[in-house]
Amino acid sequence: MNVKILAALSLAAVSVVVTSASESRASNYPPDYPMCSSSDSVTTGPFEIIRHTTNPYASHHANLTAAYRGYLRALFPDDQIHIYINLNGNDALLPARSGSNNDAYVFLNAGINSCYMCIGYQSAPGSECQQYIANGGNDGSWLCKQPTATEDNLFLWAFGPSGTQNAWDIQVAAEAGGYWDSNYGQNYYARFEPRTTCN
């Protein structure tokens, strides 16, 4: 399956990957179709770290959630909390969102996601699909969101050259209003071994 990056589409803060429907699998599933659903979870201090793999046989078909349930949530609203994540040596401090499981969390995608088929006559004027077709794109192509630059950086060492998962060594901490929940500066730690099979 060839994946082409749509350079002609210049939407602010939105990156889109385009895959022609004819180039997709014979079943015409979207490029981000989950071949399986395997979740691994580690609790470390006030954090639950979850790796969800949707295809261990293809590159970057995984995502990562860091859910925080620590003392900073009693002092600050969830949208004022930032979660520090270090994944195999690359790190970022990310704004948290309020979760439905009594937590503040960040969710990160390692690969393309939110794919949908671009069918012009069904798309609202001014939509990504309409703009893609107006710029010469093919009707019936898959449009997908790419990982952000931050996600690309964080997941840089999460996969090997052939696309298979490496072990994930993860450090996490939370910050709000200059206060840290960081295991006394040591950060909380979790490790996921490479996933090579589907459940």
Question: In this structure, are 48 and 93 located in the same domain?
Answer: yes
Question: In this structure, are 99 and 132 located in the same domain?
Answer: no
How many domains does the chain contain in total? 2
Given a contact cutoff of 8 angstroms between Cβ atoms, the answer to whether 142 and 16 are in contact is no
Question: In this structure, are 49 and 81 located in the same domain?
Answer: yes
Question: In this structure, are 3 and 94 located in the same domain?
Answer: no
Question: In this structure, are 161 and 70 located in the same domain?
Answer: yes
Cα(34)–Cα(94) distance, rounded to whole angstroms? 26
Q: Is the pLDDT of residue 3 over 50?
A: no
Question: In this structure, are 153 and 89 located in the same domain?
Answer: yes
Given a contact cutoff of 8 angstroms between Cβ atoms, the answer to whether 172 and 66 are in contact is yes
Which of residues 124, 145, 166 is at a domain's end?
145
Report, as an integer, the average pLDDT of 85-112.
Answer: 96
Cα(40)–Cα(126) distance, rounded to whole angstroms? 40
Q: Is the pLDDT of residue 20 over 60?
A: no
Cα dihedral 8→14→15→16 (10° resolution): -80
CATH number at residue 174: 2.60.40
Q: Is the pLDDT of residue 169 over 60?
A: yes
Cα(116)–Cα(21) distance, rounded to whole angstroms? 11
Question: In this structure, are 78 and 38 located in the same domain?
Answer: yes
Question: In this structure, are 99 and 125 located in the same domain?
Answer: no
Given a contact cutoff of 8 angstroms between Cβ atoms, the answer to whether 140 and 21 are in contact is yes
pLDDT digits (tens, 9 = 90+) for 126-147: 678 888 888 888 888 898 999 9
Question: In this structure, are 74 and 105 located in the same domain?
Answer: yes
Lowest mean pLDDT, pick from 10-14, 27-31, 32-36, 144-148: 10-14
Structure token pair of residue 195: 């996933």
Domain that holds residue 121: 1-31+112-145
pLDDT at 139: 84
Q: Which residue has the higher pLDDT, 31 or 42?
A: 42
Query: What band does 21 get if pLDDT is binned at 50, 70 and 90?
Result: very low
Residues in Cβ contact with 52 at an 8 Å cutoff, skipping those fewer than 6 apart:
37, 38, 39, 62, 63, 64, 65
Question: In this structure, are 45 and 120 located in the same domain?
Answer: no
Claim: this prediction has a pTM higher than 0.95 = no
Question: In this structure, are 93 and 185 located in the same domain?
Answer: yes
Question: In this structure, are 16 and 48 located in the same domain?
Answer: no
